[in-house]
Structure 1
Amino acid sequence: MNFSNSSLNKLFNAFKPAFNGIGIAFKSERNLRFHSIAMGCVIIFSFVLSISIIEWMIVLILFALVIAMELINTSIEKLCDLIQPGKNERIRIIKDISAGAVLWVAIVAFMAGLLIFLPKIFTF
């Protein structure tokens, strides 16, 4: 593939809004920062405990799911705040359901992590 500077700039510019959105969410959302720190700890444990390539794939997919759910939840919350500033019971329900989706994925990721890491910790 032959990329010119202009095509690389176009490619970079196409991703700019996405990186901007991730940055905004990271700055404004405490849970996203928490999950990112947890992700860093899991990566360190993964190297220390020498997980297999399949386990790496599972861990990375779960990271992607948790972070993607956090980003979706953040966008839903911000959209709800735009549509209905202040308190509204229906908006609260929407936000709670969205937060519940993040929690569900995080719990499943945690359980999968236990299945991957506990046997390695006890034989370490």
Structure 2
Amino acid sequence: MARRNDIKKRTKVGTRVKNKFANAARGIFTAFREESTLIVYLIIVIFAIGLGIWVGLTPTQWSIVMLTIGVLTGFEFVNTSIENFVDLLSFEYNIQAKKIKDICAAASIINALLSVVIGFLIYLPALITTIENLFK
């Protein structure tokens, strides 16, 4: 009898994990459908990955780039969630709701600007070296 309960528990855990991934996938789809900034980020991410392959980033550089991409997109998902939540709670114009949304937008912009700085620090030297090697 104990084995049967263990199997049921594992099945329930497996189902819960599957549901969590399904919910997350639905959230990603919804965010990309509703938030145009994420589409811009996706295009930039594809470009950054292609450029990284072309200039031959080191594993450490790839780690920093991937972490930066993850933090940037994660921040944008949180920003989108908070904005949607504030809209849900506030049916008409509210100065506090505006402040919350503005602060979230500021956090996203700061994160995006820092990501650009990190990108320049990583890609610029590698790009210069690659271009110099093309003309040798």
| TM-score between both structures, scaled by the size of structure 2 | 0.82
Q: Tell which structure's C-alpha radius of gyration is larger.
A: 2
Long gaps (5+) in structure 1: none
Structure 2 counterpart SS, 1:104: helix
* Further displaced range: 5-14 or 27-36: 5-14
RMSD: 1.7
Question: Structure 2 counterpart of 1:40, which letter?
Answer: I
Corresponding residue for residue 97 of structure 2? 91
1:83-119 Cα deviation digits (max 9, x unpaired): 0023221111100100111111111111011011111
Corresponding residue for residue 28 of structure 1? 34
Number of residue equivalences: 121
Q: Measured at CA, do residues 5 and 40 of structure 1 come closer, stay the same or move farther in structure 2, by a change above 3 Å?
A: farther
Corresponding residue for residue 17 of structure 2? 11
Q: Which runs of 4+ in 1 moved over 6 A?
A: 4-7
Structure 2 counterpart SS, 1:75: helix
Identity among equivalent positions (%) equals: 30
Q: C-alpha distance in 2, partners of 1:6/1:94?
A: 38
Which of 117, 121, 124 is the equivalent residue of 2:127? 121
Q: C-alpha distance in 2, partners of 1:119/1:21?
A: 37
Question: Structure 2 counterpart of 1:29, which letter?
Answer: E
